[in-house]
């Protein structure tokens, strides 16, 4: 995924295809308490999901012989979860022509440059995910739960200030 042109890296633009935000099908996500060192397809539905049990204090499963405890975490209101993927291929002709036949919105007249413009699209969406802890429920002190409170605070920091 590295660019061939390394000198001007900060010039890159990654275009997120808006249409993909509307068409993304719901996905099931699990945040695991371990690092799997690869990113690849994996038979989650054949190995993992069928092993999940509802225990007395939350969800239970095991992975690689280790016991996990989990809970559902909702995406904070006002937000949507998306899974996005870079489009590996370079910009195709359709992207240039697409820009030409567009409805003259200014943003679409921006010329694309083969070396600096890439596309990315949402491949799935989610409104909640399962958060797993090693042997114990992650609970309210889980760092990621703290992170989920950020958008609300960000809204206050970045809101326009009242006029005098």
Partner 1 sequence: MDLSELERDNTGRCRLSSPVPAVCRKEPCVLGVDEAGRGPVLGPMVYAICYCPLSRLADLEALKVADSKTLSESERDRLFAKMEEDGDFVGWALDVLSPNLISTSMLGRVKYNLNSLSHDTATGLIQYALDQGVKISQVFVDTVGMPETYQDRLQQRFPGITVTVKAKADALYPVVSAASICAKVARDQAVRNWQFLETLQDFDADYGSGYPNDPKTKAWLRKHVEPVFGFPQFVRFSWRTAQAILEKEAESVTWEDSTAGDQEGTGRITSYFLSEGPRTHHHAPHRYFLERGLEPATTL
Partner 2 sequence: MAAGVDCGDGARARQLVFLLPEYLKDASKKMKRGLMFVKLVNPCSGEGAIYLFDMHLQQLFEIKVFKEKHHSWFINQSVQSGGLLHFATPMDPLFVLLHYLVKADKEGKFQPLDQVVVDDIFPNCVLLLKLPELEKLLHHVTEEKEINNKKYYKYSKEKTLKWLEKKVKQTMAALKTNHVNVSARVQSTAFFSGDQVSSDKEEDYIRYAHGLISDYIPKELSDDLSKYLKLPELPASLPNPPSKKIKLSDEPVEAKEDYTKFNTKDLKTEKKNSKMTAAQKALAKVDKRGMKSIDTFFGAKNKKIGKI
Range 9-48, binding partner 1 (CB under 8 A): 9, 12, 14, 33-38, 40, 42-43, 45-48
For residue 22, CA distances in Å to 14, 26, 76, 87, 121 come to 18, 11, 19, 18, 11
Answer whether 96's CB lies under 8 Å from 41's CB: no
Can you tell me the distance from the alpha carbon of 131 to that of 137, in angstroms, rounded to the nearest whole number? 8
Among 39, 54, 65, 135, binds partner 2 (CB under 8 A): 39
Pick what 154 binds: partner 1, partner 2, none; C-beta below 5 to 8 Å, kind-dependent.
partner 2
Can you tell me the distance from the alpha carbon of 152 to that of 112, in angstroms, rounded to the nearest whole number? 35
Can you tell me the distance from the alpha carbon of 86 to that of 23, in angstroms, rounded to the nearest whole number? 16
- Beta strand 13-16 pairing with 128-134: unpaired
| Binding segment (CB under 8 A) for partner 2, from list 39-47, 50-58, 64-72 | 39-47
Q: Which is nearer to partner 2, 57 or 108 (CB)?
A: 108
Closest Cα to residue 73, out of 128, 127, 133, 121?
128
**Is residue 149 part of the contact set for partner 2 (CB under 8 A)?**
yes
**11 phi and psi, to 5 degrees?**
-90, -10
Pick what 21 binds: partner 2, partner 1, none; C-beta below 5 to 8 Å, kind-dependent.
partner 2
Pick what 50 binds: partner 2, partner 1, none; C-beta below 5 to 8 Å, kind-dependent.
partner 1
Answer whether 86's CB lies under 8 Å from 162's CB: no
| Smallest distance, partner 1 to C-beta of residue 151, A | 11
Interacting residue ranges for partner 1, rule: CB under 8 A: 1-3, 6, 9, 12, 14, 33-38, 40, 42-43, 45-48, 50-51, 53, 60, 62-67, 86, 118, 120, 134-135, 143-144, 146-147, 149-150, 153
């Amino acid at each position: 995924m590295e660019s061939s042109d390394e000198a001007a890296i900060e010039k890159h633009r990654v275009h997120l295809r808006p249409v993909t935000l509307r068409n993304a099908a719901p996905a099931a996500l699990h945040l695991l308490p371990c690092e799997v060192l690869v990113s690849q397809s994996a038979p989650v539905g054949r190995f993992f999901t069928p092993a999940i049990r509802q225990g007395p204090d939350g969800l239970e499963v095991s992975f690689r012989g280790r016991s996990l405890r989990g809970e559902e975490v909702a995406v904070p209101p006002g937000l949507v979860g998306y899974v996005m993927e870079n489009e590996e291929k370079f910009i195709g002709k359709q992207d240039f022509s697409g820009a030409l036949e567009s409805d003259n919105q200014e943003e679409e007249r921006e010329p694309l440059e083969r070396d600096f413009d890439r596309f990315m699209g949402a491949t799935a969406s989610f409104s909640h995910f399962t958060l797993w802890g090693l042997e114990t429920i992650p609970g309210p002190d889980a760092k990621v739960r703290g992170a989920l409170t950020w958008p609300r605070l960000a809204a206050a920091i970045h809101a326009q200030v009242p006029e005098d």
